[in-house]
Chain A
Amino acid sequence: MTKKIYFTFDGKKYSGIEGDTLASALIRNGVFVIGRSFKYHRPRGVISAGCEEPNGIVQLETGNITEPNVRATEIELYEGLKAFSQNNWPNVNFDIGSINDLLSRFIPAGFYYKTFMWPKKFWEKYEFFIRKAAGLGKSPTADDPDKYEHFHYHCDLLIIGGGASGLYAAKLAKNSNLKILLIEQNSQLGGEHLSKQNSDKDSPLFKKLEKLNNSSNLKILKNTTVFAYMHSNYLLASQKINKKNLRQVIWKIRAKKVVLATGSIERFLTFNNNDRPGIILANSARKYINYYSNKIGKEIVIFTNNDSAYKTALDFHLKNVIVKAIVDVRKGSDGDLVKKAKELGIKIFFNSAIINTEGRKRINKVFISKLDGNFKKLIGNPEKILCDLLCVSGGWTPNVNLFSQSRGKLVYRESDATFIPNKSFQEEISIGSCNGTFNLDEILEETYDKMKKLLDGFGEKIDEKYKENTEKIFQDKMQHIWIVPTNKNFSKTKMFVDFQNDVTAKDIKLALQEGYKSIEHIKRYTTTGMATDQGKISNINAQGIISDLSGVPINELGTTTFRLPYTPVSFGAMAGRNIKEFFDVERTTPMHQWHINHGAKFEDVGQWKRAWYYPKDNEDMSQAVNREVAATRRGIGILDASTLGKIDIKGKDSSEFLNRVYTNSWSKLAVEKCRYGLMLGDDGMVIDDGVTTRISENHYIMTTTTGGAASVMSKLEDWLQTEWPDLKVYLTSVTEQFATISLNGPFANDLMKKLYPNFDFSKENFPHMSFKAVESDGIVCRIMRISFTGEMCYEINVPSSYAKDLWEKCFKLGKEYNITPYGTEAMHVLRAEKGFIIVGQETDGSVTPIDLDMNWIVSKNKYDFIGKRALSRSDTIKEDRKQLVGILTKDPNEILEEGAQLVESISALPMTMVGHITSSYYSPNLGRSIALALVRGGLKKKGGKLFAPMPKKTIEVKITDPVFIDPSNNRLTA
């Protein structure tokens, strides 16, 4: 006894059996209306049994695990499953929206381009309703509780598809030394074979193939869909796991060879009212009755243009379902299956077509008419036949989606109107029905031959060829018929092509008539093929119809591009673990925990977490910052500067290299000396700055800005590798190898003496802008006397692992100087008081060194440096460029907003802006606010007045020098 599984659909309880999909379970319960179509809200049931399903899509589950637009044909039933129909109100059986069906005459393809334009202001109101009407399911409203993973996999052979050809290919390769991965989108291997009736499944071949199992060199993934075929045989697959802690996995696969065995998809036929619930693809109906043992209909009719649908007739007959008629477009067929049907006495209407159907919520009758010899006209009166299921087959479409994604070229085969693989672009082969090979004996032959060649290429031996005779079934030719003739005015018919988007044959006609002739225009104008099934069933029919109506042969229309993903992939799976705590690495310094312990607030600078300020007791931010700033100028301020980029430069051409990348000259810099440098882009604009130290003759260490470290490093490498390969220079990023402790303030020197009692810290031995390597406790510390605060300052660089100890030692020994940790905010205030720039704040990619009043740093003698030429262009030499100045507000308590714009006079909008505030702070040392700005012609306007017009008030300001403290550098060089 198979296990019963209970589930609900639209709140009503049903039961299915183990192995059912939601679709088969609903059918088992006689539920045929599963959803409503996008535009006309026509009742719809499933028409397939797989991922090509356009109609049977539901909202699965509720709350934070709800998922919209899930294909009922792909959901494996589980206990307690809750599904809901979509796109209807108040319910799927009575849907107000279906009024659109009655009004369909007024809303043809693209109608929205022609209306909703009056009155002009009303578009938003129309749009509100259009939006409400559009969309299918509903987005979840809460966080996803599930997890997703990414796995990487390398293999020799990736076989995609676990049908006859794929399985046989795996078997043939299995005894080789190759590492093989076989991927099947369904929960069971077998592909087409699963649709067969049981007695057919007993074939010895399939018994063998079904036994294929994971082994040392073969891995089989089921429930997994390859959705993208990228360059260099890089493929992506999405696996459904549906376990508590893991919902889906994305496999990132790199394969030496790919075997595409992706099968084919049955086609529909385009006739009037071909969309009623109970009209289904013939082979899918067969799968429901055979594989799912599901009595899908009692009295069936079959409509076909080929032999394959006769299998459905025969199988239904075998299950004692009444096959009332087979309606066959062709004039006849000598196929074996047809013969058999005849023998069984099944009524066959040759050279006929179904021209209409009836039954709103389930089909109840069809109208059959005779066709003329060209299949274009109807002859005589239609005959009515009652039925509750109509199985349709319009032939088969090789599933070339992945082949096409791989950039392989297709060729059109007239005989069965298929596009099949022609020229490969990557290392791949196509076998079986995705290659247009439909008969089992031929498939096996082809698979063997192609696999032999492929394995030969690897120098591997192939397994024995399958020898037993597979039954040869002769199938006669199909007759393609893109539009089934109608006895109605064509413009009044409803012949659906794209079911989900409600695109009909007459919509395509309208598009053509209106001049949308390119296939892409038609697709976009009518939306055919753009629904969630991506036109797996409809695209070829749309092409055929266009060809029929326009007279352009189908192979000259060109196909629309197959785009990834093959089937939709969840965002959660694509994101994998790269969200929340793993969204982006968090870079922290060795002192990070200390900062946390001391109550630091942090600021994100690039990926770094930098201590922003350290509030004490109940201090707010400004109180804390003021305290930190004042303490630095009076005692010692200590800063964790470890985040600054550090690049180790070695090699005999290092000086020359620096000459080229910085504006100033480096050749004469003495060993153990430091120099500040500005780096420009080739447009002459400042892109980075920092101090570089000459450690020995051919060894420098460069510091960059925190945010610029990575990009500077790659720029330098870029120049070295592509422009100056002749220079002997070697770069190593050592940002994380060294931590930097910056000691600032009038007592910095005293603390240094205590830290390194055996070293001479006199001004003479260790002046400003110099370097010493000093040993302490057995560790070599690289100490630079440089300053970003305007105070006497020592920057101690130690290997990161020692930094925290040294940091704590500084506090112990510095207590008497009121050593105070300061964060980036205080650092900004201190440097602004001194008029030092921050690249990226005072500069924005449009600022030259001259604009910064740093003419002194631009060498006039050097032959060249990056950006040199750009500095003498007509615009860069203009005198009234925006230049760096200081700004003081008239009201000393007014702190300007950074980013505020400056004007010379207040006028009506628009106002002419002459610059903007780049930095602005309260300066506790000056007891007032200060700011830096870029102002047009500012250098010549010092003392002048400007205004900052803010939303609620206008602030008057004065232009000043940007150096607010110690212009003569007494403190710095003390």
Chain B
Amino acid sequence: MHKKPKKYSVFSLIRNAVSYHENWQPVWRSPEPKKEYDAIIIGGGGHGLTTAYYLAKNHGLTNIAVIEKGWIGGGNTGRNTTIIRSNYLWDQSAALYEHALKLWEGMSQELNYNVMFSQRGVMNVAHNLHDVRELKRRWHANRLNDIDCEWLNREQVKEFCPIINTSPNIRYPVMGATLQRRAGTARHDAVAWGYARGADAMGVDIIQNCEVTNINVKNGQVTGIESTKGSINSKRVGVVTAGHTSVIANMVGIRLPLESRPLQALVSEPVKPVIDTVVMSNTIHAYVSQSDKGELVIGAGTDGYTSYSQRGGFNIVEDTINAVVELFPLFSRMKMLRHWGGIVDICPDASPIVSKTHIKGLYFNCGWGTGGFKATPGSGWVFAHTIANDEPHKLNAPFTINRFSSGELVDEHGAAAVAH
């Protein structure tokens, strides 16, 4: 067994400073894969790592491996704009995301790793009467679901975020906004690393640079996987590969209702604090927050076509910048520093799939699309439950694959109309 990692604290920092930091331990080991595990998680993103962590922590399953084709957190986990909120419209979504939000609130302490969860509030801005109606609907639903949410009129929007352009004369004036104060952002890499460290400490093998190339099934039961590091046996395999889920599903002949599409984001050069909340506008498509480092973090919309290349069209980025400058004219002289793309897996109803399959021991956790970072701890929690018990947790029971045949969709498109 692996020995427990030394606790991080101011004191450990000082102690280590004395020895010039030469004694810090590795955050996780880099083991070679064993022949067999009790469970294999494919995909070392946030959702895969939390799944492993909660399998070990909540269900005592420690002989497990997370198999990652590149480096952990290198997929959408390390590419997203880190907006975290739980103000979803439908009861099913709200319950799942709120469960996640509660886990976020204690995450740094739980992991003894500072994920910098910053509850600076998320504002969803309305620009026309339709937006107002839909956002108010969501506000009332959130209230009754006991999820914090407020409605701000134009003046209150201005007061809460003074740099936003609330002039009534712009093309799509700000007509109000919802505000969830407990919402915010976090440091994405730290989430992957913190959970990896926690999982590793409980004995989970994190295997990087190992691509899964096939899934072995015998008589309707999963028996293991093939990978670039050889075959590994396991009777339980959880697939958590976001934009590449359909590639894996294809290995066992399952067709999932997923579209993989590029989603782009960018940051500005760092500046001193200028915006102290997260502003999201779906109608004109601008999402802005400022990272602790001082960079404006800006998310664009998805490209219209499907693709596995982590790169989208520049016109999409331009549209987003237009909207940002329209809403925040003072940012015009700021500069784009870095731009990137990820591949997001989108379900027809814009809700995830966390589900068993017709193959025994094979589970899928996908479809989080443009907005799954916020769900990271909750997703792992319920997926671990599903794998450990071969039954969904009550929070993910509405999110099975079967809903596409039963019609019990959780359509967050039309309803919440907000992507991230």
Shortest beta-carbon distance, A369 to chain B, in Å?
Answer: 22
Whether B408 pairs with A875 at a CB distance below 8 angstroms is yes
B12 x A579 contact (CB < 8 A):
no
A571 near B335 (CB under 8 angstroms)? yes
Interfacial residues of chain A within 208-255, with CB under 8 A of chain B in the complex: 228, 230-231, 234, 236
Question: Given A108-B21, A513-B24, A913-B144, are A114 and B332 neighbors across the interface (CB < 8 Å)?
Answer: no
Query: Which residues on A sit within 8 Å (CB–CB) of B294?
Result: 131, 134-136
Does A94 have its Cβ within 8 Å of any Cβ on chain B? no
Q: Using a Cβ cutoff of 8 Å, how many contacts connect chains A and B?
A: 319
Question: Does A723 touch B at the CB level, under 8 Å?
Answer: no
**Residues of chain A lying within 8 A (CB to CB) of residue B141:** 901, 913, 916
| A135-B293 in contact given A491-B20, A532-B337, A845-B413 (Cβ < 8 Å) | yes
B 269-311 binary contact with A (CB < 8 Å = 1; else 0): 1111110000000001000001011100000000000000001
Which stretch of B105-113, B232-240, B373-381 is in the interface? B105-113
A114 CA / B17 CA spacing, docked (Å): 13
In the bound complex, what is the Cα–Cα distance between A578 and B315 (angstroms)? 12
Which residues of the partner chain A approach B338 to less than 8 Å between Cβ atoms? Answer: 530, 534, 563, 565
Q: Which residues of B contact A67 (CB under 8 A)?
A: 333
Contacts A138-B271, A578-B318 known; A524 to B336 CB distance under 8 Å? no
Interface membership of B339, Cβ < 8 A: yes
Please measure, in the bound complex, the distance between the C-alpha atom of A230 and the C-alpha atom of B264, giving whole angstroms: 14
B128, A603: Cβ atoms under 8 Å? Answer: yes
**Contact, CB under 8 Å: A874 / B406:** yes
Which B118-143 residues have C-beta < 8 A from chain A? 118-119, 127-130, 133-141, 143
Q: Which of B26, B270, B321 has the most CB of A within 10 A?
A: B270
Bound Cα distance from A847 to B256, whole angstroms = 23
Given contacts A134-B294, A603-B129, contact A69 B335 (CB under 8 A): yes
Chain A stretch 132-167: residues in CB contact (< 8 A) with chain B: 132, 134-144, 146
User: Could you say which residues of chain B place their CB within 8 Å of the CB of A897?
Assistant: 136, 140
Task: Please tell me which one of the listed residues B25, B116, B135, B144 contacts residue A901 in the complex, with CB atoms under 8 A apart.
Answer: B144
Contact A521 B71 (CB under 8 A): yes
Q: Which of A111, A132, A899 contacts B140 (CB 8 A)?
A: A899
- Give a binary string over A54-76; 1 marks a CB under 8 Å from any B CB, 0 the rest: 00000000000111110000000
Cα-based distance from A583 to B274 in the complex (angstroms): 24
In this assembly, does B208 line the interface, its C-beta being within 8 Å of a C-beta of chain A?
Answer: yes
When the two chains form the complex, which single residue of B139, B325, B414 contacts A571, counting CB atoms closer than 8 Å?
B325
The answer to whether the Cβ of B331 comes within 8 Å of any Cβ in the partner chain is yes
Q: Taking chain A's interface residues, is the majority helix, strand, or loop, or is none over half, making it mixed?
A: loop
> Which of chain B's residues have a CB closer than 8 A to the CB of A111?
13
A727 contacts the other chain (Cβ, under 8 Å)? no
> What's the Cα separation between A701 and B172 when bound, in Å?
31
B407 proximal to A (CB < 8 A): yes
Chain B residues closer than 8 Å to A114, beta-carbon distance: 8-9, 12-13, 113-114
A388 within 8 A of B: no
CB <8 Å contact, B128 and A604 = yes
**Contact A568 to B269, CB < 8 A, known contacts A65-B333, A516-B27, A901-B141:** yes
Q: Are A846 and B409 in contact (CB under 8 A)?
A: yes
A579:B325 contact, CB within 8 angstroms: yes
> Which residues on A sit within 8 Å (CB–CB) of B30?
515, 517
A683 near B348 with CB under 8 A, answer yes
Give B295's nearest chain A residue, CB to CB.
Answer: A135
Could you say which residues of chain B place their CB within 8 Å of the CB of A236?
Answer: 314
Given the complex, which residues of A lie within 8 Å of B211, measured CB to CB?
none
Determine whether B405 belongs to the interface, using a CB cutoff of 8 Å to chain A.
yes
Q: How far is the CB of B231 from chain A (nearest CB, A)?
A: 24
The residues of A that contact B369 with a CB separation of less than 8 Å are: none
Say whether A510 faces chain B, with CB atoms less than 8 Å apart: yes
Chain A residues contacting B272 (CB-CB under 8 Å) are 132, 134-139
Chain A, range 564-616, C-beta contacts under 8 Å to B: 564-565, 568-572, 574-575, 578-581, 583-584, 586, 603-605
Report the nearest B residue to A65, measured CB to CB.
B333
- The answer to whether B144 touches A117, judged by C-beta atoms less than 8 angstroms apart, is no
7 of the cross-chain contacts (CB-CB < 8 Å) are: A134-B292, A518-B71, A518-B208, A520-B71, A572-B325, A572-B333, A575-B318
Query: Which 9 A-B residue pairs are closest in the complex by CB-CB distance?
Result: A135-B294, A845-B414, A515-B26, A899-B137, A491-B20, A873-B407, A144-B332, A899-B136, A572-B332
